[in-house]
A and B are shown apart, each in its own frame.
Chain A
Amino acid sequence: MNGRAVATNREWVFGRYFPFVFALAMTLTVASAKWLQAHQAPRVLTGWLLFLGCGSQALTWWFAAHGRGLARRLDVHLLLALPMLACLVVHVDFHAPAGTLDMVLTAALALALVSLSVGRVLVLRHSPFVQAWLRFHIACLYSLCTLGLAHGVLIHAHGVLAAWAVRS
């Protein structure tokens, strides 16, 4: 099997049929949600997992070595996105985000995920826009991490937001 064939197969999986892969991820999410919810503090647990997931992806870009395994790295990031989706659904307890900050955070997450998927497809297609697109993805990812940190401190460390609200 030559390199072209492999690329074609990957494109077949991550490109043309990505919506189905995404649907599979959501199915796994719902299936695992009840198990996660049975734990005492599912919001805290899954919040930490989400933060670790985003942070690890961000760090791989920070320490990225020149010319090494971009396609494999994107594959790993996409695979990591599946449990992170499960964590997200449990973290929000099946409720759509209602706060402005939370909606911005969710939008950043969605943007990071979509840009990651599109980036993977562009790499498979040897597109000339790969580097430009990856810069956009990195910007989304680091914004997501910043917003996630703010969200964690303000919302989940309840007293911080309350104390800030009292003083202001």
Chain B
Amino acid sequence: MSRELEAPRARRIALWSVGATTLVLTASLLGPSGKELAMPGELRSVHAPLSQECERCHSTGGSAIRSIFSDHAESELGHRQDAKCVVCHENWTAPESAHGIEDYGPSGHFHCARCHHEHQGRDSNLLEVADASCQTCHQESFASFEHGHPEIDSWSSNIFGRIQFDHHRHATQHFPSSDVTGFESCSACHVVASDGAAMETLSFAESCAVCHEEEIRGSKQVDGAGLVVFGLPALDVLSLEDAGIELGTWPADSEFGEAPLAPIMASLMVAEMEESSWRAPLRGLDLLDLQDATEDELRAVEDVAWRIKRFTADLMREGQAGLVRRLRALTKEDLASEMEADLCASLSSELVSEAVLSWFPNLNDELAARAAEEPIDGPAFFEGEVDLALEGELEAWVDRGGWYRQNLDWSIRYRPEGHADPFLRAWIELAFSPHTQLDESEQDALQEHLFSSGTAGVCAKCHVAPEPGRPFLWESLGSEPETTLTRFRHETHFPMLAGGVAQGCSECHQLEPQGFQPHQRATCLDCHGETAASAKCTTCHQYHAGPVRDRSLRWSK
């Protein structure tokens, strides 16, 4: 007996088999349940209404056929199908890019279906991603969270990125005793967010204002509670006069009048000029002692002095409209009306007129004579009368914020009305904006004036300046958990704390003089091992972690 099967017989069997299978398959597909038969599994319940509408998720274009033969065509098809997904799922920035970063990594884009497998049944979990999927790219992989996962050592240095707060000093020096009501536990300042994930910090008014509100209003400021917005530099007028330079009237210098040209005013003066290097010759020059100044330096001082006079005249004549025009020129773009209002802060005509006319009583005549190149009458400088008692009253009069005049140093100042003062906030955002026409030194001077430890408002005491070229962001990182690569749901873990919510935070957050200690992976492993709670990659890490959304929309209309 031959053990071999003869070829003709094998062919007959093959043909019969192909024919019978084709017949049954065709009959089934064309039958009433054809779609259900062809469907590669039931859709998840949320997508179940789409069961009869394949085209809602699947592209029907020509590349559908080509995709069988070519990876490139399949990639094209994937892009089109991803576009169908994000019609509804538009939550994420660059959803098909790895971690929301455009063109990140060697693999470029990943299609939704690469990780989210549909047609796996009504109760399937589309968010369930196998660790192997993550480790496809993360080649330096490790067996599991228990074995080989890196230590969790970056939390403490990142979490307070935009707010600097010395927890240890507050706990040990300012509130050393638990008798101080409200500060005996972390929950005095931190509450779990509504979604149960992040721990949010209470607002300034709820947690910090008790101690820091008066400080922001300037009660502890040595050089006045208000911020110098407009001010005159004290000049060595006698030396200028001896050199034959006509300045007209200029307020006499005094022991208080040594302030340099106010950076905010200087920025507004720069706004409408083609080149902004006009102050450069003055750098390093002692304006109160110009005896040894060169001819060029004296001419530069003269130029600055007359620019100031013209600016103050414009300010007096045009008021807020002139300020807005200069602000728009300074920022090179249209500002939102709310922003313009904040930057002007209801500056009044009366205050400006009174101040300017007290500084330059003959301002209009002098400017007219200067324009006509005629001799300028009047004294070179005059002694202003300073009533120290009145000065203090003027500052105290705006105890809750606002504009006032300070004759001690020939300035118009603004006193913050409290935390998040709109005027200071707007000017600080402008100072750090990459969209101004200030040169680097001018921007540095403006930032130093508005955002340093001794500045009115003391914003820099808690808030952190952004990286160069980045917009200023006031909120702490805690308000953006969706944009991070790692997530942690605090509320889920409260029942595990031996000390409860009030006292148990220190089981993970250990406070030392130098700050919070890094987390210990071992703490997590108490539960998240191979046998207890989940230890998959996606338990803590999320793939769709887009970059921080640009919050500088406030700048444009």
Chain A contact residues, CB within 8 Å of chain B: 33-34, 37-38, 40-41, 44-45, 58, 61-68, 70, 93-95, 97-102, 123, 126, 128, 130-131, 134-135, 138-143, 145-147, 150, 152-166, 168
Say yes or no: is B156 at the interface (Cβ < 8 Å to chain A).
no
CB pair B10–A166 under 8 Å, yes or no, is no
Which of A45, A64, A97 counts the most chain B CB atoms within 10 A?
A64
Q: What is the 8 Å Cβ interface bit string for chain B, positions 21-59, against chain A (1 contact, 0 not)?
A: 110010000100011111111100000000011110011
CB pair B3–A123 under 8 Å, yes or no, is yes
CB pair B40–A99 under 8 Å, yes or no, is yes
Say yes or no: is B1 at the interface (Cβ < 8 Å to chain A).
yes
Q: How far is the CA of A64 from the CA of B14 in the complex (A)?
A: 12
User: Which residue on B lies nearest to A41, using beta carbons?
Assistant: B71
CB pair B55–A166 under 8 Å, yes or no, is yes
CB pair A159–B65 under 8 Å, yes or no, is yes
CB pair A142–B136 under 8 Å, yes or no, is no
Rounded to whole Å, the gap between the CB of B136 and the closest CB of chain A is 5
Rank and list the top 10 A-B pairs by shortest CB-CB distance, nearest first. Answer: A159-B64, A98-B41, A99-B40, A162-B58, A142-B17, A162-B54, A165-B54, A146-B21, A159-B60, A139-B17
A-B contact pairs, 22 of them (CB 8 A): A34-B135, A41-B74, A63-B7, A66-B2, A68-B4, A95-B117, A131-B2, A131-B5, A135-B5, A135-B10, A142-B18, A153-B68, A156-B68, A157-B65, A159-B65, A159-B77, A160-B65, A162-B60, A163-B64, A165-B35, A166-B54, A168-B35
CB pair B25–A44 under 8 Å, yes or no, is no
Q: How far is the CA of A120 from the CA of B71 in the complex (A)?
A: 37
Q: How far is the CA of A97 from the CA of B130 in the complex (A)?
A: 17
User: Which residue on B lies nearest to A154, using beta carbons?
Assistant: B38
Say yes or no: is B310 at the interface (Cβ < 8 Å to chain A).
no
> With A38-B136, A153-B68, A157-B67 in contact, do A66 and B25 touch (Cβ < 8 Å)?
no
> With A34-B135, A37-B132, A44-B71 in contact, do A147 and B5 touch (Cβ < 8 Å)?
no
Q: How far is the CA of A132 from the CA of B36 in the complex (A)?
A: 35
Main secondary structure of the interface of A (DSSP, over half): helix
CB pair A143–B21 under 8 Å, yes or no, is yes
CB pair A162–B68 under 8 Å, yes or no, is no
Q: What is the 8 Å Cβ interface bit string for chain B, positions 127-139, against chain A (1 contact, 0 not)?
A: 0001011011000
Say yes or no: is B517 at the interface (Cβ < 8 Å to chain A).
no
Q: How far is the CA of A37 from the CA of B34 in the complex (A)?
A: 32
Count of interface residues, chain B, beta-carbon cutoff 8 Å: 58
Q: Which chain B residues border A135 with CB–CB below 8 Å?
A: 5, 9-10, 13
Q: What is the 8 Å Cβ interface bit string for chain B, positions 109-124, against chain A (1 contact, 0 not)?
A: 0000000010111000
CB pair A126–B58 under 8 Å, yes or no, is no
Partner of A150, one of B4, B6, B7, B25: B25
Say yes or no: is B75 at the interface (Cβ < 8 Å to chain A).
yes
Rounded to whole Å, the gap between the CB of B128 and the closest CB of chain A is 11
Q: How far is the CA of A55 from the CA of B256 in the complex (A)?
A: 96
Say yes or no: is B89 at the interface (Cβ < 8 Å to chain A).
no
Say yes or no: is B61 at the interface (Cβ < 8 Å to chain A).
yes
Given contacts A34-B135, A156-B68, A166-B55, could you give 12 more A-B pairs where the C-beta distance is less than 8 Å?
A40-B107, A41-B75, A64-B7, A66-B4, A66-B6, A99-B37, A135-B10, A146-B22, A147-B21, A157-B65, A158-B81, A159-B62
Q: What is the 8 Å Cβ interface bit string for chain B, positions 62-97, against chain A (1 contact, 0 not)?
A: 111101100100110100010000000000000000
CB pair B59–A70 under 8 Å, yes or no, is no
Say yes or no: is B104 at the interface (Cβ < 8 Å to chain A).
no
Q: Which chain B residues border A33 with CB–CB below 8 Å?
A: 132
CB pair B41–A99 under 8 Å, yes or no, is yes
Say yes or no: is B11 at the interface (Cβ < 8 Å to chain A).
yes
> With A40-B75, A95-B117 in contact, do A34 and B64 touch (Cβ < 8 Å)?
no
> With A40-B107, A101-B40, A158-B77 in contact, do A146 and B25 touch (Cβ < 8 Å)?
yes
Q: How far is the CA of A38 from the CA of B138 in the complex (A)?
A: 10
CB pair A58–B58 under 8 Å, yes or no, is no
Q: How far is the CA of A40 from the CA of B77 in the complex (A)?
A: 14
Q: Which chain A residues border B22 with CB–CB below 8 Å?
A: 146
Say yes or no: is B16 at the interface (Cβ < 8 Å to chain A).
yes
Rounded to whole Å, the gap between the CB of A2 and the closest CB of chain B is 18
Partner of B68, one of A100, A140, A157, A164: A157
Q: Which chain B residues border A152 with CB–CB below 8 Å?
A: 68
CB pair A102–B41 under 8 Å, yes or no, is yes
Q: How far is the CA of A41 from the CA of B62 in the complex (A)?
A: 19
Partner of A94, one of B5, B75, B130: B130
Q: How far is the CA of A43 from the CA of B64 in the complex (A)?
A: 15
Q: How far is the CA of A40 from the CA of B67 in the complex (A)?
A: 13
Q: How far is the CA of A135 from the CA of B6 in the complex (A)?
A: 10
Partner of B67, one of A44, A93, A95, A168: A44
Q: Which chain B residues border A58 with CB–CB below 8 Å?
A: 14
User: Which residue on A lies nearest to B135, using beta carbons?
Assistant: A34
Rounded to whole Å, the gap between the CB of B39 and the closest CB of chain A is 5
Q: How far is the CA of A94 from the CA of B63 in the complex (A)?
A: 27
CB pair A142–B60 under 8 Å, yes or no, is no
> With A142-B18, A166-B60 in contact, do A126 and B3 touch (Cβ < 8 Å)?
yes
Rounded to whole Å, the gap between the CB of A67 and the closest CB of chain B is 5
Rounded to whole Å, the gap between the CB of B79 and the closest CB of chain A is 13
> With A70-B4, A158-B77, A161-B38 in contact, do A98 and B120 touch (Cβ < 8 Å)?
yes
Q: How far is the CA of A140 from the CA of B14 in the complex (A)?
A: 9
Q: Which chain A residues border B40 with CB–CB below 8 Å?
A: 97-99, 101-102, 155
Q: Which chain A residues border B34 with CB–CB below 8 Å?
A: 168
CB pair A161–B13 under 8 Å, yes or no, is no
Q: Which chain A residues border B55 with CB–CB below 8 Å?
A: 162-163, 165-166
Partner of A61, one of B10, B30, B71, B135: B10
Q: How far is the CA of A127 from the CA of B2 in the complex (A)?
A: 11
Q: Which chain A residues border B58 with CB–CB below 8 Å?
A: 158-159, 161-162
Q: Which chain A residues border B74 with CB–CB below 8 Å?
A: 41, 44
Rounded to whole Å, the gap between the CB of B16 and the closest CB of chain A is 7
Rounded to whole Å, the gap between the CB of A125 and the closest CB of chain B is 11
Q: Which chain B residues border A62 with CB–CB below 8 Å?
A: 7, 10-11, 14
User: Which residue on A lies nearest to B37, using beta carbons?
Assistant: A100
CB pair B4–A158 under 8 Å, yes or no, is no
CB pair A159–B7 under 8 Å, yes or no, is no
User: Which residue on A lies nearest to B9, using beta carbons?
Assistant: A135
User: Which residue on A lies nearest to B71, using beta carbons?
Assistant: A41
CB pair B136–A34 under 8 Å, yes or no, is yes
CB pair A99–B39 under 8 Å, yes or no, is yes
CB pair A138–B17 under 8 Å, yes or no, is yes
Q: Which chain A residues border B81 with CB–CB below 8 Å?
A: 158
